[in-house]
């Protein structure tokens, strides 16, 4: 069964817009878990425009499900943070410092030596390492050669193309997912997954281990409430 990890960055963005500690990201993480989320994801960036490093330290001991930290390991402070708090999973994302949001996956072939060293480092501390990739079977093969345990498929293009034709939109993801499975990799997915397109994705690629969803889920929660929204996303994942 695919697990739902809720990315709580947008809750921190709302807090930071006003200052203070409302909404409280620690309470949000606890509520998400109590409402059925099977993991919590955070993506701290160097400018701390949403989740802050201090938030990560406070949230870590509270999470009872799975704690996933996403980020760019080219920043040494990110590596140090991950090694300090020891999440269940680290997802390596090559987002530039000035990127509004993640917008591409790793070239695991060109960056093989660097990523291999990182996978070995994190996994020597008991942290499962996942590499964020575009839907390209070569990148899945490369991630396996780097020693990663999982890949996370960057699903922005799937979400963009889904309304015009789900089968065409998911085709490169299905091919890459099959390659990942053949290489012995676990499979995660994330970016712009929503109540509109989530069920089709996990029905077509049922061996997806985890989906990480933030923007759409938190946006839906403004209308539906957090409990009802998490239940709705879990319902989409469980559709047959």
Q: 182-226: per-residue pLDDT in tens?
A: 999 999 999 999 999 999 999 999 999 999 999 999 999 999 999
> Considering 33, 50, 66, 191, which one is annotated as catalytic?
191
Q: Is 43 a catalytic residue?
A: yes
pLDDT of 70 above 90: yes
Q: Which CATH number fits domain 3-238: 3.40.190.290, 3.20.20.70, 3.40.50.150, 3.40.228.10?
A: 3.20.20.70
Helix 9-18 / helix 25-34 crossing angle, nearest 10 deg: 150
At 103, is the pLDDT very low, low, confident or very high (cuts 50, 70, 90)? low
Averaged pLDDT for residues 75-87? 97
Active-site position among 70, 141, 152, 210: 70
Q: Which pLDDT score is estimated for 104?
A: 75
Q: Catalytic annotation on 152? A: no
Q: How far is CA 110 from the centre of its chain?
A: 23
Is 215 a catalytic site residue?
Answer: no
Provide, rounded to the nearest whole percent, the portion of the chain with pLDDT above 70. Answer: 97
How many C-beta atoms lie closer than 10 Å to residue 19's C-beta? 7
Predicted TM-score of the model (pTM): 0.95
**Helix and strand counts by DSSP (H, E) for the chain:** 11, 8
pLDDT digits (tens, 9 = 90+) for 142-185: 999 999 999 999 999 999 999 999 999 999 999 999 999 999 99
Q: Which of 43, 141, 152, 210 is catalytic?
A: 43
Confidence of residue 101 (pLDDT cuts 50, 70, 90): low
Q: Looking at residues 101-123, what average pLDDT do you find? A: 91
Residue 173: which residues within 8 A CB-CB, separation 6 or more? 135, 153, 155, 158, 189, 201, 205
Q: What is the residue extent of each domain of the chain? A: 3-238
Q: Tell me what the mean pLDDT of segment 90-98 comes to.
A: 82
């Amino acid at each position: 069964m695919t697990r739902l990890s809720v990315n709580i960055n947008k809750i921190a963005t709302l807090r930071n817009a006003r200052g203070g500690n409302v909404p409280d990201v620690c309470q949000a993480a606890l509520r998400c878990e109590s409402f059925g989320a099977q993991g919590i994801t955070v993506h701290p960036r160097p400018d701390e425009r949403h989740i802050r490093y201090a938030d990560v330290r406070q949230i870590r001991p509270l999470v009872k499900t799975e704690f996933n930290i996403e980020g760019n390991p080219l920043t040494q402070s990110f590596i140090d943070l991950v090694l300090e708090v020891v999440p269940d999973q680290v997802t390596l994302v090559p987002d530039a410092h000035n990127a509004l949001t993640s917008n591409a996956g790793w070239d695991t072939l060109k960056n093989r030596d660097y990523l291999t060293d990182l996978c070995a480092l994190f996994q020597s501390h008991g942290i499962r390492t996942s590499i964020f990739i575009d839907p390209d079977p070569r990148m899945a093969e490369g991630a396996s050669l780097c020693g990663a345990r999982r890949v996370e498929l960057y699903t922005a293009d799937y979400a963009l193309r889904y309304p015009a034709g789900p089968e065409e939109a998911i085709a490169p993801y299905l091919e890459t997912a099959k390659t990942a499975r053949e290489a012995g990799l676990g499979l995660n997915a994330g970016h712009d997954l929503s109540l509109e397109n989530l069920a089709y994705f996990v029905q077509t690629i049922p061996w997806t281990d985890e989906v990480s969803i933030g923007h759409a889920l938190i946006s839906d929660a403004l209308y539906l409430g957090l409990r009802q929204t998490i239940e709705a996303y879990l319902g989409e994942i469980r559709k047959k």
